[in-house]
Chains A and B, each alone.
Chain A
Amino acid sequence: MTDNVQSVGLPDERPPANTVGPIAWLRSNLFNSWYNAILTILVLALLVSAIPPFVGWLLVNAHGFDSTSTVCRQDAGGACWGFIGEKLRFIMFGMFPWDEQWRPLLTICVFIALLVASCDRRFWKPWFGLVWAAGLTLVAILMWGGVFGLTYVENTLWGGLPLTIILSVIGLAVAFPVSILLALGRRSDMPAVKVLCVTYIELIRGVPLISLLFMASVMLPLFLPNGVSVDKLLRAQIAFIMFAAAYMAEAIRGGLQAIPKGQYEAADGLGLSYWQKMRKIILPQALAIAIPPLVNTFISFFKDTSLVIIIGLYDLLGTAKAALSDPSWRGFYREAYLFIGVIYWIFCFSMSKYSQKLERDLNRGHRR
């Protein structure tokens, strides 16, 4: 080829300067029309006026973790991280005995390890349930104590982040099987079962969580036989389970509805019984579809645990609020709420990113 054709190739020209590089990016993304240019300038002006004072408050003028409230009150130009420095352990662990606070810390680590491991799809096997059971047993031993030389700690002393995680994770774990039954019941052919499940789900979804917490805290003692009493934490946990079961049932129903009718018919054609059909054919597919909405339910559920403050439990928000009621630290609400806001945010944001990633991964099989 090269022998026959003499090609005098012109050297490749660089693209026009206004289509590459940062200038072009600015032109196409910030100044592509006159109103976008105005908007960009307005937003920039807003950011310039808002960000430096905020950074100044947050870092530059702030007092360190060892500052005292007297110092902070005299020079109130910046954040007072001394509040977090002094109250950190109370906010994180509540009234758990001071010398034993490595136990709730370890509990948090166990939960985070379990949650992170559960995110990996290679672990989605039946044996992983045993890992969870072992982890929860470890948590129970750590929190209650009373064995292996650990001192016994009443659960009225639990608080802070471990309480938030326990309420949401245990609530989810117990509500999950219940919600599967509810979702199956709602799709059932048996009218009585269907009516019961629909009534339960719609009743719970129609009322706010607070009213369920109220019910658990003021009505549950009346429901039980005389002499039987349930402590506050368990009552809140029951309300959460009832609440979560209804919402998760709806997420699972969405998954069940997405399964083509042919799958049911094929299972029937093979002569499988109802439970065999559900366990081996329908649920594995439906649950895979339902996982992203289930994770979203879990996120809102995690945020909703903050409501236990209303019935007098000290979760992460409760301990922060209690720390603020200390007369010497009254008024440092920005620091307190920013600190726990960031903790909640890290949990919820990572879960929502995970749910988005999972949705993409799971959709890959359906797309062609």
Chain B
Amino acid sequence: MATETRTTQGAPPPGGVSISLSDPTFRAIVYQILVVGAVVLVGWFLISNTLDNLARRSIATGYDFLGREAAFGIGESMIDYSPKDSYGRAFLVGVLNTLKVSVIGILLATIIGTVIGVARLSSNWLIAKLASTYVEIIRNIPPLLQLFFWYALVSDGLPAVRQALNPIPGVFLSQRGLRVPVLEPHPVWANMGIALLVGIVAAWGVSRWARARQARTGQPFPAGWAGLGLIIGLPILTWIAGGAPMALDMPKLAGFNFSGGASISPEFFAILTGLTLYTAAFIAEVVRSGIKAVNWGQTEAARALGLPSGPTLRLVVLPQALRVIVPPLTSQYLNLMKNSSLALAIGYPDLVSIANTTLNQTGQAIEGVTMIMGTYLVISLSISIFMNWYNKRIALVER
């Protein structure tokens, strides 16, 4: 990588060479051979240095260390993990934690960002000013500073476990984070999940059928409401059929910590809040410019055709605004995902933080850094591919 910047600078000045090499095609070939040669030379120089250094420090290369016992604990994990597990499994825990915070963060930031972006365009002066103040403050402060603030707010600002705040029965707020009651396990939950999937598929089928019928006969069908009813109604019916279980697993103070319930750690709270609020400010700007990019004449034309304001927004303005919104929105999603690496600074066990522990313990610096980079590249590429597919789907089809 450093290699390449050097080579572009190191390319010979064309003024001197072009006199003797006046054929552009030949010249291009010569330049490319020179550039590639320089890159290979610099790369070879770096690699030979590295091999030399590794041999001198007797560090073995390769990914064999992934199978060895990790011997360090991880605060929170979505899969079973103990210090006896391998480095490979520890890294997987980190990847899952990164994905968890990215996915939830992207969902929340999209919702908050859209609300704020629309609020900035509100005809209500107070709301518009409030929204733009939010955007201008949040955008211009480093995300890491915001993370530190949120983390300090929980770990320093909240009372110790013994004096935990108890705003609603069963909900505890303390330095250890948020503790909430969860529903006790019951077979009906799994069935409700299946019912939800069935509902989504059925709603998709209904909307296809409704669109085909409207294209054929011109009769509209409230597919949106029917679909919503299917997606919400089927799981609720399953729940009632299963005996409507309501038993809660309440958290209780036992010794110096809580037992029962589910918890949100201060680290997770800080990284999620920080990333969500920071990215939401950028998404708000994306949404605002997208909506403003749709000509007001479009709205007026839709009104003139007799469309009510709801369908005007849904059928005329939004599809056009989305075309402007999706590409910059993609890069905001990618930014949020990459910024989740800041978790390292507050101790949330994301993939960078676990890879960092691993490379400190094993000394496998090159392997650790390439694993971090490789994983992020794979996630980045997946988000880009998905968003490009979506962008193509909504893009303007020109004849």
The yes or no verdict on A and B being binding partners is yes
Chain B, residue nearest A246 (CB): B1
Whether the Cβ atoms of B148 and A225 lie closer than 8 Å is: no
Cα-based distance from A286 to B33 in the complex (angstroms): 28
Interface string of B360-382 (1 = CB under 8 A from A): 00000110110011001100110
Chain B, residue nearest A178 (CB): B5
Whether the Cβ atoms of A182 and B139 lie closer than 8 Å is: no
B143: A residues at CB distance < 8 A? 303
A127: B residues at CB distance < 8 A? none
Whether the Cβ atoms of A210 and B369 lie closer than 8 Å is: no
Whether the Cβ atoms of A211 and B352 lie closer than 8 Å is: yes
Q: Of A210, A219, A273, A333, which contacts B18 at CB under 8 A?
A: A273
**With A36-B124, A40-B126, A196-B39 given, is the CB distance from A222 to B53 under 8 Å?**
yes
A29 at the interface (CB under 8 A from B): yes
Whether the Cβ atoms of A43 and B130 lie closer than 8 Å is: yes
Q: Which of A336-368 contact B (CB under 8 A)?
A: 337, 340-341, 344-345, 348-349, 352
Whether the Cβ atoms of B126 and A30 lie closer than 8 Å is: yes
A275 at the interface (CB under 8 A from B): yes
Whether the Cβ atoms of A223 and B49 lie closer than 8 Å is: yes
B2 at the interface (CB under 8 A from A): yes
A181 at the interface (CB under 8 A from B): yes
B365: A residues at CB distance < 8 A? 218-219, 222
**With A203-B377, A274-B14 given, is the CB distance from A211 to B142 under 8 Å?**
no
Chain B, residue nearest A194 (CB): B32
Q: Of B140, B152, B359, B381, which contacts A348 at CB under 8 A?
A: B140
* Stretch of A15-23, A185-193, A255-263 that contacts chain B: A185-193
Chain A, residue nearest B48 (CB): A225
* Stretch of A80-88, A151-159, A304-312 that contacts chain B: A304-312
Q: Which of A1-55 contact B (CB under 8 A)?
A: 29-30, 32, 36, 39-40, 43-44
Whether the Cβ atoms of A309 and B140 lie closer than 8 Å is: no
B372: A residues at CB distance < 8 A? 207, 211, 214
B369: A residues at CB distance < 8 A? 211, 214-215, 218-219
A224: B residues at CB distance < 8 A? 49
Residue among A43, A275, A331, A333 with the highest chain B CB neighbour number at 10 A: A333
Interface string of A201-224 (1 = CB under 8 A from B): 001111111110011001101111
Chain A contributes a number of interface residues (CB within 8 A of B) equal to 67
Q: How far is the CB of B123 from chain A (nearest CB, A)?
A: 6
Whether the Cβ atoms of B366 and A206 lie closer than 8 Å is: no
A205: B residues at CB distance < 8 A? 380
A232 at the interface (CB under 8 A from B): no
Cα-based distance from A37 to B72 in the complex (angstroms): 57
Q: How far is the CB of A318 from chain B (nearest CB, A)?
A: 10
Cα-based distance from A197 to B36 in the complex (angstroms): 11
Interface string of A273-301 (1 = CB under 8 A from B): 11100000000000000000000000100
Cα-based distance from A344 to B141 in the complex (angstroms): 6
B184 at the interface (CB under 8 A from A): no
Report the number of A-B residue pairs with Cβ-Cβ less than 8 Å. Answer: 180
* Stretch of B207-215, B299-307, B341-349, B388-396 that contacts chain A: B341-349
Interface string of B1-41 (1 = CB under 8 A from A): 11011011100001100100000000010011001100100
A200 at the interface (CB under 8 A from B): yes
B153: A residues at CB distance < 8 A? 333
Main DSSP-derived SS at the A contact region: helix
B265 at the interface (CB under 8 A from A): no
B122: A residues at CB distance < 8 A? 36
A317 at the interface (CB under 8 A from B): yes
Q: How far is the CB of B101 from chain A (nearest CB, A)?
A: 13
Interface string of A82-106 (1 = CB under 8 A from B): 0000000000000000000000000
Chain B contributes a number of interface residues (CB within 8 A of A) equal to 63
**With A211-B376, A219-B366 given, is the CB distance from A204 to B1 under 8 Å?**
yes
Whether the Cβ atoms of A193 and B31 lie closer than 8 Å is: yes
Whether the Cβ atoms of B32 and A197 lie closer than 8 Å is: no
Q: Of B123, B137, B144, B377, which contacts A345 at CB under 8 A?
A: B137
Whether the Cβ atoms of B18 and A222 lie closer than 8 Å is: no
B149 at the interface (CB under 8 A from A): yes
B366: A residues at CB distance < 8 A? 219, 222
Cα-based distance from A39 to B136 in the complex (angstroms): 22
Cα-based distance from A214 to B360 in the complex (angstroms): 11
Q: How far is the CB of B370 from chain A (nearest CB, A)?
A: 9
A226 at the interface (CB under 8 A from B): yes
Whether the Cβ atoms of B144 and A337 lie closer than 8 Å is: no
Q: How far is the CB of B127 from chain A (nearest CB, A)?
A: 6
B314 at the interface (CB under 8 A from A): no
B32: A residues at CB distance < 8 A? 190-193
Binding site for B on A (CB under 8 A): 29-30, 32, 36, 39-40, 43-44, 177-178, 181-182, 185, 189-193, 196-197, 199-200, 203-211, 214-215, 218-219, 221-226, 238, 242, 245, 273-275, 299, 303-304, 306-307, 309-310, 317, 321, 331, 333-334, 337, 340-341, 344-345, 348-349, 352
Enumerate 29 A-B pairs (CB-CB under 8 Å) in ascending A order.
A30-B124, A30-B125, A178-B8, A196-B39, A200-B5, A203-B1, A206-B380, A210-B344, A211-B372, A214-B369, A214-B372, A215-B373, A218-B359, A218-B368, A218-B369, A222-B49, A222-B54, A223-B2, A226-B49, A238-B2, A242-B2, A273-B14, A309-B345, A310-B344, A310-B345, A317-B145, A321-B148, A333-B152, A341-B149
Binding site for A on B (CB under 8 A): 1-2, 4-5, 7-9, 14-15, 18, 28, 31-32, 35-36, 39, 46, 49-50, 52-54, 56, 122-127, 130, 136-137, 139-145, 148-149, 152-153, 156, 338-339, 341-342, 344-345, 352, 356, 359, 365-366, 368-369, 372-373, 376-377, 380-381
Nearest 3 interchain pairs by C-beta? A348-B140, A29-B125, A208-B338
